[in-house]
């Protein structure tokens, strides 16, 4: 890639972040996702930190402005009511729970890791900001350890949207909705239905929202006879990684770190229980039935990001890199459920690539990390800043001018970041 080519892309990516800025927070993309999403915002902050540190902090701070009294940071903050999105604030019914109208569930906690990255870029600006946001990050992690820890010591999700991998086949066998009633989806008016979750998936999403609403989003009440509880590698690896970063920041701030250090040990222990007994890879487990999903997803490769080396997984990753032109597919291309354009059932999401790539390089797998990063560069160069891409031919899917794809370009994929 020539120098001028990638500098042009850097500029384009910056403009996407600026265009998706709604005044101190970004939306993932105009139209399809008109509000502030949790992990999208954390990625956006990471992206902003490459050209505007002040704006990077603002992004994270605006996300934590929506933190609930119980510590949870919601997966969507509805700062306005946009009738073009469903299910909006009136469907969630969380009025009593937090300072900003929001959804009632959370999303993968990548925030602490990106806060650390932003802080380390410029500590003279960052020290004070870190001091303020640190207790909020800690309260959120505590919420996960209190309300989302399974007895296997890994993290479960209470709704498919919580994992950020909405329609992954990991949840296929984990629930049976009844009596959802009539509703109108809005997502399929923005992008083709063949790229979105099915109607059956949507019934399940809504059914769980209706249950939460009925129970007033009270975690204590919701924990009784949960109809959906799936131990998830995305959440477990990401929370472990983020807790390690939190621990590092606690030490730098010279504040008590015992509890955080215990969380890290607990999660470290839990990881092994996610291993599929037949395939050796890390997968999701339906906690109601103890059934392993048997799916190799992009989340199966997050172990290095969490600081865990694993030979079995390395073999599978090497094969995946060999057989896929634009890795990493969100579901193995050899799965019978593989569907290259349907959201989390096959497409490549560059956000996951960046996390896996960071982990690989940190643990010394430079060849694999470089390959993954170079393929991600070509993908974005050839196909643009789409929401996700077909892993075999790179066809762009979902929304366009996507915030987190631009952010990942700026903070990780762009050659402007140098070599590993």
Active-site residue set: 166, 387
d(CA 255, CA 215): 36
Kindly identify the residues of this chain, within the stretch 32-61, that bind ligand GLC according to CB under 6 A.
33, 37, 39-40
d(CA 366, CA 70): 41
Applying CB under 6 A, the span of 16-24, 31-39, 257-265, 365-373 interacting with ligand GLC comes to 31-39
Q: Which of 98, 164, 340, 391 binds ligand GLC (CB under 6 A)?
A: 164
d(CA 336, CA 230): 21
The footprint of ligand GLC on this chain (CB under 6 A) covers a number of residues equal to 7
Q: Which of 166, 170, 229, 368 binds ligand GLC (CB under 6 A)?
A: 166
Nearer to ligand GLC, 75 or 275 (CB): 75
Please answer whether residues 132 and 64 qualify as being in contact, where contact means their C-beta atoms are separated by less than 8 angstroms. no
Nearest residue to 274 via CA among 237, 325, 314, 318: 237
Q: What is the DSSP string of 115-133?
A: HHHHHHH-HHHHHHHHHHH
Residue 347 engages ligand GLC in binding (rule: CB under 6 A): no
Question: Two tokens at 108?
Answer: 């993968």
3-state secondary structure of 331: strand
Kindly identify the residues of this chain, within the stretch 248-307, that bind ligand GLC according to CB under 6 A.
none
Nearer to ligand GLC, 35 or 68 (CB): 35
Residue 89 engages ligand GLC in binding (rule: CB under 6 A): no
Shortest distance in whole angstroms from residue 136 CB to ligand GLC: 20
Neighbouring residues of 384: CB distance < 8 A, sequence distance ≥ 6: 396, 400
Nearer to ligand GLC, 126 or 391 (CB): 391
Nearer to ligand GLC, 33 or 301 (CB): 33
What HEC string does 294-326 produce? CCCEHHHHCCCCCCCCCHHHHHHHHHHHHHCCC
Shortest distance in whole angstroms from residue 40 CB to ligand GLC: 5
3-state secondary structure of 36: strand
- Widest pairwise Cα distance in the chain: 58
- How many residues in the chain? 420
Shortest distance in whole angstroms from residue 163 CB to ligand GLC: 8
Residue 229 engages ligand GLC in binding (rule: CB under 6 A): no
Handedness of CA 376, 111, 91, 23 (dihedral sign): negative
Q: Which of 6, 13, 16, 28 binds ligand GLC (CB under 6 A)?
A: 28
Shortest distance in whole angstroms from residue 238 CB to ligand GLC: 12
Neighbouring residues of 5: CB distance < 8 A, sequence distance ≥ 6: 381
Nearer to ligand GLC, 40 or 170 (CB): 40
Nearer to ligand GLC, 241 or 275 (CB): 241
Residue 232 engages ligand GLC in binding (rule: CB under 6 A): no
d(CA 26, CA 12): 16
Shortest distance in whole angstroms from residue 126 CB to ligand GLC: 25
Nearer to ligand GLC, 20 or 153 (CB): 20
Shortest distance in whole angstroms from residue 133 CB to ligand GLC: 20
Shortest distance in whole angstroms from residue 164 CB to ligand GLC: 3
Nearer to ligand GLC, 126 or 347 (CB): 347
Residue 396 engages ligand GLC in binding (rule: CB under 6 A): no
Please answer whether residues 330 and 278 qualify as being in contact, where contact means their C-beta atoms are separated by less than 8 angstroms. no
Q: What is each CA distance from 362 to 50, 95, 99, 215, in whole angstroms?
A: 20, 42, 38, 43
Shortest distance in whole angstroms from residue 223 CB to ligand GLC: 24
Residue 98 engages ligand GLC in binding (rule: CB under 6 A): no
Residue 10 engages ligand GLC in binding (rule: CB under 6 A): no
Question: Two tokens at 47?
Answer: 């992206």
Residues at the site binding ligand GLC, with contacts judged by CB under 6 A? 28, 33, 37, 39-40, 164, 166
């Amino acid at each position: 890639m020539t120098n001028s080519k990638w500098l042009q892309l850097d500029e384009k990516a910056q403009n996407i972040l600026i265009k998706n800025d709604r005044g101190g927070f970004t939306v993932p993309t105009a139209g399809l996702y008109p509000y502030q999403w949790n992990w999208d915002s954390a990625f956006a902050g990471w992206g902003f930190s490459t050209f505007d540190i002040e704006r990077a902090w603002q992004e994270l701070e605006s996300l934590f402005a929506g933190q609930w009294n119980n510590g949870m940071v919601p997966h969507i903050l509805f700062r306005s009511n946009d009738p073009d999105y469903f299910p909006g604030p009136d469907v969630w019914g969380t009025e009593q729970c937090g300072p900003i109208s929001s959804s009632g569930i959370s999303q993968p906690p990548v925030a602490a890791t990106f806060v650390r990255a932003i802080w380390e870029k410029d500590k003279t600006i960052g020290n004070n900001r870190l001091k303020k946001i640190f207790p909020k990050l800690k309260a959120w992690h505590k919420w996960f350890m209190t309300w989302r820890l399974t007895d296997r010591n890994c993290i479960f999700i209470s709704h498919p949207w919580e994992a950020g991998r909405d329609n992954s086949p990991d949840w296929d066998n984990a629930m049976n909705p009844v009596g959802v009633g009539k509703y109108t989806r809005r997502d399929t008016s923005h992008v083709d239905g063949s790229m979105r979750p099915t109607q059956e998936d949507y019934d399940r999403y809504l059914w769980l929202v209706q249950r939460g609403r009925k129970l007033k989003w009270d975690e204590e009440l919701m924990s009784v006879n949960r109809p959906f509880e799936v131990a998830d590698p995305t959440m477990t690896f990401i929370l472990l990684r983020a807790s390690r970063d939190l621990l590092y920041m606690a030490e730098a701030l010279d504040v008590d770190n015992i509890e955080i250090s215990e969380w890290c040990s607990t999660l470290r222990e839990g990881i092994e229980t996610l291993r599929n007994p037949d395939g050796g890879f890390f997968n999701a487990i339906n906690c109601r039935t103890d059934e392993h999903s048997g799916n190799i997803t992009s989340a199966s490769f997050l172990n290095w990001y969490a600081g865990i080396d694993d030979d079995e997984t390395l073999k599978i990753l090497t094969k995946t890199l060999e057989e896929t032109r634009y890795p990493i597919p969100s579901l193995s291309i050899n799965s019978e459920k593989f569907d290259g354009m349907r959201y989390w059932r096959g497409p490549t999401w560059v956000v996951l690539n960046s996390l896996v790539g960071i982990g690989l390089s940190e643990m010394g797998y430079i060849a694999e990390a470089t390959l993954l990063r170079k393929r991600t560069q070509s993908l974005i160069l050839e196909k643009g800043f789409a929401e996700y891409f077909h892993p075999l031919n790179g066809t762009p899917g979902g929304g366009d001018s996507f915030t987190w794809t631009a952010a990942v370009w700026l903070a990780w994929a762009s050659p402007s970041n140098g070599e590993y």
